Copies of this chain bind each other. A is one copy, B any other.
Amino acid sequence: MLQHTFGGVNGPRSRAQRDVVLRVLADLPGPSTAHAIHHHALDTGVRIGLTTIYRHLASLVRAGTVAAMVDHAGLHLYYLRSGDEHSNTLMCTECGCGVPVNAAVVTHWAMRTAVDHGFSDLSLSIALTGVCSRCRSTEGR
């Protein structure tokens, strides 16, 4: 009575649209904005609203399935979390492609630094961008 019969007691209740978001995230090469996800979903023939994208992204981030970062322009980028806790992405500013990199060094440094200065509830966000070799070679075009 308190709780209807459904999968999880706390997680997101729906599945259909949430799985759309997850599938698109898996399709896209690197961290993507909510608008890019929306656009890609529409391109693949799925009818979904931008509001719903944002809602599920927030829920998935809370659940830990998706990670969020902020690029140097202040845009929020989202990507599926691989199993590796220290995974991060090196992104190309030209084509948007992403290369997963291991940032364990950085997270360790961050935790140590925080402890050293008496800080708690640490939150670290790294935005690492550049121009990939492919884009660099076609730059003058």
Contacts and interface: CB of A to CB of B under 8 A. Distances in A.
Interface of A: 70-76, 90, 92-93, 99, 101, 103, 105-106, 109-110, 113-114, 117-133, 136
Q: Copies per complex?
A: 2
A117 B129 contact: no
Contact of A76 (B74, B93, B128): B74
B117 A101 contact: yes
A95 to B, nearest CB: 12
Nearest to A71: B70
A72 B103 CA distance: 18
B101 A120 contact: no
A105 B81 CA distance: 24
